[in-house]
Chains A and B, each alone.
Chain A
C-alpha cells in the first residue's frame, strides 16, 4: 500500500515536471529574444529586470530537472551508463564547471586527487552531478577567505572522495535528515541561502546505485565534510 502510494507520487511528480517544461519553453524563449535585443534595444533598467526573469527561469528549470532525476531514482528507472572512468578527470571537470561561481569571491578550491587510484566503473555524468552538488553546496556555505578541498584516497577495496569546507556547518541533530528530499538545514533557511533540498537526496540515490555510500561529518561554525565511498571495480 505504502509502496503503491510512493509510486503514484513519483509518477505524478514526473508528469508534472514534464508538463512544466511547456510553459517554461515560451517564458525562457521569449525572454531570450528580448534580452538579445532582437525585438528592439533595451535600456539598462530593462536589461536588469529581464536578467532577473532569465535567472529565475533558469532556477525553475534546474528545479524541474532535479525533480525529474529524483523521481527516476525513486522509481528505480534512472538509467546509468556503466563504463570505466578517470576520477581525477571527473573532479577536474566538476571544479572547472563551478569556477564561474567563484568570480568576485575570496574562496579557493584545492584538489588533491592522485592519478590512477584503481579501476572505477560507473556513470561518469551522474557522478559528476554528485560532485557538482557537493561543490556548489560547499561554495554556498563558505565564508570569504576560506578554502574548499577535494581529496581522494584508496582504502581496501574502496575509493573515498571527500569534499570539505570551512563553512557554517550543520547542527548535529539535523545531520541524520540531511539526505531526505526537501530537507534544508535551519542555518541555510535562517540565512536565506538558496536551495531546493534536492541535491543531497539526488546525490545519495546516485551513489547508492553505484554500490557506494555518502556520509557527512560536520561541526557548526567549523565546516562540513561530505565523503563518498565507491567500490573499486564494476558496480553491482
Chain B
C-alpha cells in the first residue's frame, strides 16, 4: 500500500510531537519526528515514509504547503497524509489538498489508532492493548 519507511510526525510543539511519537511507537510503528515543514520534506525524500502526520500551523512553510509539495513529488505522491491541527477541518472540497484523515486536537489515542489501522494496516510488534482497541 505505502512505502516501508517510518511514520513521519511533523509538529513544532515538542510535547505534542513526543505524545504522537509515543502513541505511534506503542502501536508498533517505526517513527520519526521533525519540527518544521522544511525538515519534513528533506526527511520524506530520504526515508520514504509510510504515512505523514502533519500539523498545519508550523514555523516556515505550513502543513498544507508540505502536503501539496509531497503530492507533486514523484515517489511520494501516494504517501497518505493525516492532518492533526487545532483548526477545525475545512468544509469538503475547500481543503488545499484532500488529506487521508483529519484529527482535531486534542485527539484520543484510539482516534489515531483507528486512522493508522485504516491507512497502514497493522504492522510490527503492536502493543496488544492498543492494537485490539483499534481493531487490528
Residues in A whose Cβ lies below 8 Å from that of B100? none
B109 x A33 contact (CB < 8 A): yes
Q: Which of A21-29, A162-170, A176-184, A222-230 contacts B (4 or more CB under 8 A)?
A: A21-29
- Report the Cα distance A61→B104, complex, angstroms: 12
CB of B68 within 8 Å of the partner chain: no
Residues in B whose Cβ lies below 8 Å from that of A18? 86-87
Residues of A5-62 at the interface with B, using a CB-CB cut-off of 8 Å, are 18-19, 21-22, 24-30, 32-33, 36, 38, 57, 61
Which A residues are closer than 8 A to B by beta carbons? Answer: 18-19, 21-22, 24-30, 32-33, 36, 38, 57, 61, 68, 79
Residues in A whose Cβ lies below 8 Å from that of B105? 21-22, 24-25
Interface size on B, residues (CB 8 A): 18
Tell me which of B16, B86, B87, B108 contacts A32 (CB under 8 A).
Answer: B108
CB of B106 within 8 Å of the partner chain: yes
- Report the Cα distance A33→B88, complex, angstroms: 24
Which B residues are closer than 8 A to A by beta carbons? Answer: 13, 15-16, 19, 22-23, 26, 86-88, 91, 104-109, 129
Question: Can you show 12 pairs from A to B with CB atoms below 8 A apart?
Answer: A18-B87, A19-B86, A21-B106, A22-B13, A22-B86, A24-B106, A26-B13, A26-B15, A26-B19, A33-B22, A36-B109, A38-B129
- Report the Cα distance A21→B129, complex, angstroms: 27
